[in-house]
């Protein structure tokens, strides 16, 4: 399996380095650009070699070309490459404007690195791109769970649990990031790949269905409700790894 490539466009060298290191540990090949102008040169160089990045993470406030201009540049040449914009500007109008411009997702700074990784995985999965993982990383094991990310199957004690696409997405997110508490909004946007709907009962219903399917295996308690916040992987599940 070839590794997915990510271009990180971020003028803060410290942030860029941390993001690059985190994605690198997850199996991604990262390139860095520290200004909008440098990003343009990197993209043009890749295009000259008949290559392209699988995904771009782009800050808005950049020297040279702005982040908005970088998004326009990418979209003018390529309608398919997913773009995740990061910015300290968190107003809803900013997010709407960027999505209209051609960005696929918007993450407000400061952001959680695991959340960025999860959003990258969602975007690549929607594009049908195999997610690059560390050696042996296609199978994710948590306690009694064994998730085959390539086959998109969950087995408990060797027995396959039949999950819908969305149910598997939820389980995968929780298992891949065991220390993170996901709000219902985050789970909805990442598992469905759509903007959050006002009615958050949809997420609760899906979690309830997953627990019902897992109950005969005795692992339904792996999904813990964090009251007033959302859901996370229970500590006893991670202890059992």
Q: Please give the order of strands across the beta sheet that includes 29-33.
A: 29-33, 5-9, 55-59, 83-87, 105-108
| Choice between 101 and 182, residue whose per-residue pLDDT is larger | 182
Closest by alpha carbon to 121, among 146, 140, 149? 149
Q: Which two tokens stand for residue 189?
A: 């946007």
Query: What percentage of the chain has pLDDT greater than the value 90?
Result: 39
Q: 102: pLDDT confidence band, cut at 50, 70 and 90?
A: confident
DSSP state string for 118-146: HHHHHHHHHTTPPPP-STTTTEEEETTEE
Quick one: which of 110, 149, 119, 100 has its CA closest to 55? 119
The count of other CB atoms within 10 Å of the CB of residue 142 is 20
Domains and CATH numbers, the chain: 5-126 (3.40.50.2300), 139-239 (1.10.10.10)
Matching residue, tokens 């997915």: 4
Task: Write down the mean pLDDT value for the chain.
Answer: 85
Does the structure show a pLDDT above 50 at 200? yes
Edge-to-edge order in the sheet of strand 182-183: 182-183, 230-233, 223-226
Q: How confident is the model at residue 130 (pLDDT cuts 50, 70, 90)?
A: very low
| pLDDT class of 241 with cuts at 50, 70, 90 | very low
């Amino acid at each position: 399996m070839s590794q997915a490539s990510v271009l990180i466009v971020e003028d803060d060298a410290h942030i860029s380095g941390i993001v690059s290191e985190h994605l690198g540990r997850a199996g991604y090949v990262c390139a860095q650009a520290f200004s909008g102008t440098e990003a343009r040169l990197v993209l043009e160089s890749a295009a000259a070699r008949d290559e392209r990045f699988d995904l771009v993470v782009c800050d808005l406030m950049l020297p040279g070309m702005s982040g908005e201009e970088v998004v326009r540049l990418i979209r003018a040449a390529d309608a398919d490459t997913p773009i995740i914009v990061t910015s300290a500007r968190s107003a809803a109008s900013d997010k709407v404007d960027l999505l209209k411009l051609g960005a696929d997702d918007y993450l407000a700074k400061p952001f959680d690195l695991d959340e960025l990784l999860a959003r990258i995985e969602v975007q690549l999965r929607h594009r049908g791109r195999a997610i690059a993982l560390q050696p042996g990383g296609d199978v994710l094991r948590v306690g009694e769970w064994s998730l085959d990310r390539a086959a998109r199957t969950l087995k408990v004690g060797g027995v396959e649990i039949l999950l819908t696409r969305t149910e598997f997405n939820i389980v995968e997110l929780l298992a891949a990031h065991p220390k993170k508490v996901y709000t219902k909004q985050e789970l909805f946007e990442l598992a469905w790949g759509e903007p959050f709907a006002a009615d958050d009962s949809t997420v609760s219903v899906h979690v309830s269905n997953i627990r019902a399917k897992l109950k005969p295996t005795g692992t339904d308690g792996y999904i813990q409700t964090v009251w007033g916040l959302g859901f996370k992987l229970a500590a006893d599940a991670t202890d059992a790894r």
